[in-house]
Amino acid sequence: MTNMGRRGFVKGATLGALAFTVGGVEAIMAPGEARARNVPFRLLDAHQGETLEALGETLVPQAREAGIAHYIDQQLSVPPHEALLQARIFNVRPPFADFYRTAIVSIDESSRRILGRDFAQLSAADQREFVGRMRQNKIEGWTGRPGAAVYAVLRADAVDVVYGTMEGYEALGIPYMPHITPEKRW
């Protein structure tokens, strides 16, 4: 076999942070940075982005700032076999965008019916309560994929952006110890 060397010797990662489009030019940056720089979404509209941010933040604090919506948006724009989304592991059939779009519609429909406004406009306490019921499939009249599945996939994505990065490990005090370091700390 080829001797790949010990930890730290291998710098083979050609894939780093994600490719975002800024002013028509592709730039590589972490999703949190893309959010901070107001990079336009590729596929999501503003409302979908806002809903994913609100949902992500309810599931995992700091997911908004970590760029959950930009992360999902960018990942939906690449071919499914290149996507890093947890939808893949949960056996969601591509195109993955269908899953997220339907989830947002189901959430907003229920939110409007029960609480009179879109999910993103609810108070943090109401968002939290709503997500708790969604997790247990306890929202009456819910349509589309089961609430528990929406909870599991979105929670997993939010865990990724907040905890799955090198910064996330650092924040938890867990030594990262990579063999092949993800470029730009991804």
Partner 1 sequence: MTNEKVDVVIVGAGASGSVYASVLAKAGKKVVLLESGPDWQLTDLISSEIWGRRVKPAGAPILLEGKNPMAYAAQGGWGVGGAALHYYANFPRLLPTDFRMKSEHGRGHDWPIAYEDVAPFYDKVAREIGVSGDARAEEKWRPAGEAYPMPPMKTFRNGNIWLKAFEASGIPMVPAPVGMNSVEFKGRPACLYDGWCHVGCPIGALANPQVTYLGEARKAGAEVRAWSTVTRVLTNPAGTRVTGVEYYDDKHQKQTQEASVVLLAAWSAQNPRLLLNSATDKHPKGLGNASGLVGHFMMSHHVASTWAMFDEDVQNHMGTIAVQYMSYERYPKKSHDGAFGSSFVTAGFAVKTTDLANSRADLYGPELADYMKRAARNLAGIKTFGEEQPNVENRVELASEKDEFGMPLGRLIHSFDSDAVALWNANFEEGLNVARASGAKEAWSARGTMPTSHLLGGTIMGTSAANSVVNSYGQSHELPNLWVAGPGIFPTEGASNPTFTIFALSQRGAERMASQWGTLTN
Distance from chain centroid for Cα 154: 6
CA–CA distances in Å: residue 125 to residues 54, 58, 121, 132, 148: 12, 9, 11, 11, 19
Stretch that binds partner 1, among 22-30, 38-46, 81-89, 108-116 (CB under 8 A): 81-89
Q: In angstroms, what is the minimal distance from the CB of 92 to partner 1?
A: 8
> Judged by CB under 8 A, does residue 88 bind partner 1?
yes
Distance CA 30, CA 71 (A): 8
* Residue 8 in tokens: 């730290």
Distance CA 19, CA 40 (A): 12
* Contact track, partner 1, 152-181, x by CB under 8 A: x--xx--xx--xxx--xx--xxxxxxxxxx
> Judged by CB under 8 A, does residue 133 bind partner 1?
no
Q: Are 71 and 42 in contact (CB under 8 A)?
A: no
> Judged by CB under 8 A, does residue 4 bind partner 1?
yes
Residue of the chain from 131, 139, 150, 153 that contacts partner 1 (CB under 8 A): 131
Q: In angstroms, what is the minimal distance from the CB of 63 to partner 1?
A: 10
**Please, what is the end-to-end C-alpha distance for the chain in angstroms?**
28
> Judged by CB under 8 A, does residue 123 bind partner 1?
no
> Judged by CB under 8 A, does residue 61 bind partner 1?
yes
How many CB atoms lie under 10 A from the CB of residue 67?
26
* Residue 50 in tokens: 């806002």
> Judged by CB under 8 A, does residue 36 bind partner 1?
no
Is 45 or 183 the residue whose CB approaches partner 1 more closely? 183
List residues binding partner 1 (CB under 8 A). 1-7, 10, 12-13, 15, 58-62, 80-86, 88-94, 128, 131-132, 135, 151-152, 155-156, 159-160, 163-165, 168-169, 172-182, 186
